[in-house]
């Protein structure tokens, strides 16, 4: 009987944790690898800017300075060859010396910031050409000091101007080379940026795909877990229903046995004792003892009937829930010594069958907890027949308890199970005056479906 409708779940379910952990490791490795790649690209870009672009710009500034000095020398030589000038050639010696000092400083600085792609031949050509120019300039001024003005002008026109123009051409070529290097560096930088951008897009795409697959896997795993939980919950509810049904059947059987068998036996014994006492002589010790035994038998019969009603009130099946509560609550008052205020409201509708048993057990368990643990001397029980709901409240202003704590008695669990079996809810609240308020709410249609 208990195996019907119960599905066995697989004994071993694979947890998604290892796969998720592996996915996390792969993701971290990918992030670290990509971070290393980006770091290398940025380092290469920084090195390219430092070693090429910045050096080219600094070198170009020095080359422009050199070119400006050479242009100054060219203008000076033009003036030296102008016959309208009244000054001797030696008058330009100081200007040449100032330009030479600035030119030497510019050349020295240019060598320090020369690009890495500058060939030794170019450096050597530039240094040699400058040295030859100044040698020729020195010889020219020596001739001018020896009053060989015509020969000195010839030297300027033939040698110095040619060397100055050659130097200007060499410097211009170096400037063009620097510009070309900067253009190539700009292309390389743009290529690096483009490659990094593509890699970022690819990485983001891969990350989004990984997140998508991980999310889908989590959704699938959660659906499986929730399906298993739903199946387990269904099995638990079915098992709880069968256990409660078995419990009620057992209690009903014991109650009937006590009421019918033991009650009849004790009733028969009492009748026999009464007849025996009537047959005994008046005022005899035997008659007094028989009367005493008869009283004990009657007391035992009353206790058996009370126990029978406590195990399973026959009134539930005969007159329904409302009448049973009308009988039960005064009994609690007498036995527990507390005052119970019982209130009924609304248009009553029939509650019997299994639903009546469940509601009665919830009230019984709440009242038992109240009398045992609350320490209160007064309680309130409210039975409300609402249009669509049956509501029962049991309230006291005693010690109270925490229904949300992890430690809950079997009684509270049974109350929840019974409420769920009826499709209702049971709530445990704390009134403003303290204590405990148990509220059971059951839809009316669920009461009808359980009345059988």
List of residues 6+ apart from 259 with CB closer than 8 A: 304, 305, 308, 314
Of 2-6, 150-154, 182-186, 205-209, the poorest mean pLDDT is in: 2-6
What is the rounded (10 degree) CA torsion for 290, 293, 299, 301? Answer: -90
In this prediction, residues 310-331 reach a mean pLDDT of 81
Residue pLDDT, tens place only, 110-132: 888 887 777 888 888 888 888 88
The hierarchical CATH code for the domain 318-450 is 3.30.565.10
Residue pLDDT, tens place only, 41-74: 777 667 666 666 777 888 888 889 989 988 998 8
pLDDT of residue 155: 85
Give the Cα separation of 183 and 187 in Å (integer). Answer: 6
In this prediction, residues 310-328 reach a mean pLDDT of 80
pLDDT of residue 449: 47
Please give the share of the chain, as a percent, with pLDDT higher than 70.
Answer: 89
pLDDT of residue 5: 43
In this prediction, residues 276-295 reach a mean pLDDT of 79
pLDDT of residue 321: 84
Burial 241-251 (b: 16+ CB within 10 A, else e): eeebeeebeeb
Q: Which residue has the tokens 């919830």?
A: 362
In this prediction, residues 241-249 reach a mean pLDDT of 75
Give the Cα separation of 173 and 269 in Å (integer). Answer: 137
The pTM score is 0.50
pLDDT of residue 68: 92
More confident residue, 407 or 229: 229
Give the Cα separation of 257 and 251 in Å (integer). Answer: 10
Q: Find out whether 51 and 116 touch, Cβ atoms under 8 Å.
A: yes
Helix (H, G, I), strand (E, B), or coil: what is residue 376? coil
Q: Is the dihedral of CA 363, 366, 369, 375 positive or negative?
A: negative
pLDDT band for position 190 (cuts 50, 70, 90): confident
Residues of the chain with CATH 1.20.120.1730: 17-216
pLDDT of residue 441: 93
pLDDT of residue 13: 52
Residue pLDDT, tens place only, 74-118: 888 888 887 666 778 888 888 889 998 998 999 888 888 887 777
Residues of the chain with CATH 3.30.565.10: 318-450
Which tokens in the block code for residue 267?
Answer: 């009733």
How high is the mean pLDDT of the chain? 80
Helix (H, G, I), strand (E, B), or coil: what is residue 83? coil
Q: Find out whether 324 and 356 touch, Cβ atoms under 8 Å.
A: yes
The neighbouring-strand residues paired with 378 are 339
Is the domain covering 17-216 a CATH 1.20.120.1730 domain?
Answer: yes
Give the Cα separation of 311 and 256 in Å (integer). Answer: 9
């Amino acid at each position: 009987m208990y195996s019907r409708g119960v599905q066995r779940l697989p004994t071993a379910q694979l947890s998604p944790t290892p796969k998720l952990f592996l996915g996390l490791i792969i993701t971290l490795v990918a992030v670290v690898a990509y971070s290393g790649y980006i770091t290398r690209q940025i380092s290469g870009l920084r090195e390219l800017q430092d070693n090429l672009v910045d050096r080219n710009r600094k070198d170009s500034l020095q080359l422009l300075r050199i070119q400006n000095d050479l242009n100054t020398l060219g203008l000076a030589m033009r003036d030296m060859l102008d016959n309208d000038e009244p000054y001797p050639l030696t008058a330009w010696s100081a200007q040449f010396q100032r330009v030479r000092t600035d030119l030497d400083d510019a050349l020295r600085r240019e060598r320090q910031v020369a690009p890495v792609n500058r060939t030794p031949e170019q450096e050597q050509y530039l240094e040699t050409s400058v040295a030859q120019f100044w040698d020729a300039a020195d010889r020219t001024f020596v001739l001018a000091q020896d009053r060989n003005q015509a020969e000195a002008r010839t030297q300027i026109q033939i040698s110095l101007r040619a060397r100055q123009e050659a130097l200007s051409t060499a410097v211009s070529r170096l400037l063009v080379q620097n510009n070309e290097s900067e253009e190539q560096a700009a292309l390389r930088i743009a290529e690096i940026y483009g490659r990094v951008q593509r890699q970022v897009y690819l990485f983001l795409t891969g990350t989004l795909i990984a997140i998508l697959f991980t999310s889908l896997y989590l959704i699938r795993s959660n659906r499986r877990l929730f399906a298993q939980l739903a199946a387990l919950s269904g099995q638990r509810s079915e098992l709880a229903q069968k256990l409660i049904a078995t419990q009620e059947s057992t209690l009903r059987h014991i109650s009937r046995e006590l009421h019918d068998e033991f009650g009849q036996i004790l009733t028969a014994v009492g009748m026999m004792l009464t007849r025996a006492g009537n047959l005994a002589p008046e005022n005899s010790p035997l008659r007094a003892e028989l009367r005493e035994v008869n009283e004990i038998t009657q007391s035992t019969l009353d206790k058996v009937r009370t126990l029978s009603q406590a195990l399973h009130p026959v009134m539930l099946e005969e007159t329904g829930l409302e009448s049973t509560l009308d009988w039960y609550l005064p009994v609690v008052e007498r036995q527990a010594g507390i005052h119970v205020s019982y209130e009924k409201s609304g248009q009553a509708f029939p509650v019997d069958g299994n639903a009546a048993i469940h509601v009665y057990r919830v009230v019984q368990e709440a009242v038992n907890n109240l009398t045992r643990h609350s320490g209160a001397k007064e309680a309130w029980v409210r039975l409300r027949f609402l249009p669509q709901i049956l509501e029962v409240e049991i309230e006291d202003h005693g010690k109270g308890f925490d229904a949300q704590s992890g430690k809950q008695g079997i009684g509270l669990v049974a109350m929840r199970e019974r409420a769920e079996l009826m499709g209702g809810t049971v709530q445990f609240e704390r009134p403003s005056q303290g204590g405990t308020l148990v509220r059971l709410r059951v839809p009316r249609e669920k009461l009808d479906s359980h009345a059988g």
